[in-house]
Structure 1
């Protein structure tokens, strides 16, 4: 008898926890828009275009989640956040998720109480200097003034790097990438340091990008990815599998151009069928429609399409896939099975 009462209590507690966890998903559906935190402007990753529409590699993750939940990639309210304000915006509920070149660390998981749902860009911290400075290595930066965004892992990594190499520097604190760019180009600092992808994005906007060199040293691991609040597991699942759908689609050869045809009938590949909702009930498990992933691929694109369109080698950002290639191509990109 005691055992059944105990199990009954667990069941009630579990149901209560489940109801709480579903809150954000329910809120987004009821609101009809996704509130997504992005950067204040980083070319190729998240920035408004000439028409004021947000676009970029991170923006695509927001649009993928909005498509999965609401069927509309444009049903997003983009909220610009800085290195300092991003976590407050997420913790307070101002935004439903954050997708802005944010590094996954233990303290952000455990101390700040956030859940990183995956990695959408494997990066590392680097340095950019004017070619005229005549520096070819970060180890030659003794005494340099360095522009650094406050409230970021780059600030901590910078201190570690200079201490380990027994050299000194003078920090020039800034809050946004735009401010860093302005200060750097004005000569207020000799060097700007941030994620290497951010340096490439920033240099691409310079009037003469070739006058600036990104030094060879990568001084950290920066796994960048979207995050949600702790205690919101069902919402975390939706965001996680929206990103995984884009990654898996590329691996499986499903693109925005062929997804309609591939979903018109079952294919010979059961995983493609499950991904596109023509077989099984994965959408129902997430509280979504059966064609949630198909809609993401059709309206936003698979991971490779989004990468090439926003930051790939044919864009001004000019990033090679590198670590962000599929695992089948020697990279780290790997989506868990859709089954």
Structure 2
């Protein structure tokens, strides 16, 4: 027997179901996961970083500065509305992944490459790629080499605990060339090995090598070869089990990218508060509906851009002085790979 319900009862049933769904969403937003709970209870975000000029390095006064450091400050603004609630700690490539697993860090902003084994075997979650990199080789100019294959028979320094170990071995195996690897753990010794002639070249992410070149006594005697041996998408890494923390990381990064796409900078963001574009109104908190829906301060994105800047400002402030070109790290509208999902 078919029961014909009245239109009014169907509407009421749909409304009731919608209210239950809305209630569950709000409840989910209000409940932080274990990492975010610890962060809020502690009052600081523990951030693992490295030591590469332009990306992360303490200044003469001991204050951390750099591209990835600015993203730590942006996260601090999103969570605490204060850029100085991020606590940065240098950790070596060998130590940083176990430290994240053990809970010593809330997040790694140390130039971690996204890999499938780190996701499945180590249980890490990754935020958006913030820097598209590739493995390079730094060599002495007097070797007169133009490409990696010219280093047949060379001695090459590799840093243990990085993706670079496998990449360089794969490259030489694929090309049928020979090399002698020298595994080095200490970052300082990595540079010394090249300067002393212990190795002919060193290999790492090109982002690291550009910074390390500036630390050499005679940087003009060395060159980073133009080719890249691998894809190295660098992203924030967190331990699994806290979806709320992951989404804060995701949308903090996305906010800096979206702001650049709209032309919103730290200098003109106040002018954009007058924009009649509803998407920009939601983004900057003029219309608080979006922030209320996701459970963040209505001005969270505004405060990030006002204090830290958009992606382009972060890049230009920290990396442009080192001679870095945007390359793949341009906006998608400029032929690059940076792209933010919609803020709605």
TM-score by length of 1: 0.90
Q: Which moved more, 1:61-70 or 1:280-289?
A: 280-289
Distance 2:301 2:271 in 1: 14
Distance 1:140 1:249 in 2: 43
Q: Does 1:332 align with 2:337?
A: yes
Where does residue 152 of structure 1 map in the other structure?
Answer: 162
| Distance change (3 Å), C-alpha of 1:181 and 1:284 | farther
| Distance change (3 Å), C-alpha of 1:15 and 1:173 | farther
Where does residue 142 of structure 2 map in the other structure?
Answer: 132
What is the DSSP-based 3-state SS (H/G/I as helix, E as strand, rest coil) of the residue aligned with 2:194? helix
| Distance change (3 Å), C-alpha of 1:302 and 1:19 | closer
CA contact (8 A) 1:83 1:151 kept: yes
Where does residue 37 of structure 1 map in the other structure?
Answer: 48
TM-score by length of 2: 0.89
Distance 2:301 2:30 in 1: 24
Distance 1:258 1:80 in 2: 34
* Count of aligned residue pairs for this structure pair: 321
Gaps of 5+ in 1: 1-12
RMSD: 2.0
| Residue of 207, 215, 225 corresponding to 2:235 | 225
Report deviation, 1:179.
2.5
Where does residue 22 of structure 1 map in the other structure?
Answer: 33
CA contact (8 A) 1:83 1:176 kept: no
1:182-221 superposed matches below 5 A: 182-221=192-231
Report deviation, 1:188.
1.5
Distance 1:17 1:93 in 2: 23
Distance 2:313 2:179 in 1: 40
CA deviations over 1:245-304 (Å, ceiling 9, x no partner): 1111111111111113323x4x12222111111114333344321111111111111100
CA contact (8 A) 2:29 2:295 kept: no
Where does residue 74 of structure 1 map in the other structure?
Answer: 84
CA deviations over 1:15-58 (Å, ceiling 9, x no partner): 9998885222232222221111111x101001111111100001
Q: Does 1:101 align with 2:106?
A: no
| Distance change (3 Å), C-alpha of 1:187 and 1:16 | farther
1:172-321 superposed matches below 5 A: 172-263=182-273, 265=274, 267-312=275-320, 315=321, 317-321=322-326
| Distance change (3 Å), C-alpha of 1:72 and 1:16 | closer
Q: Which moved more, 1:173-182 or 1:72-81?
A: 173-182
Gaps of 5+ in 2: 1-23
CA contact (8 A) 2:34 2:241 kept: no
Q: Which moved more, 1:89-98 or 1:196-205?
A: 196-205
What is the DSSP-based 3-state SS (H/G/I as helix, E as strand, rest coil) of the residue aligned with 1:242? helix
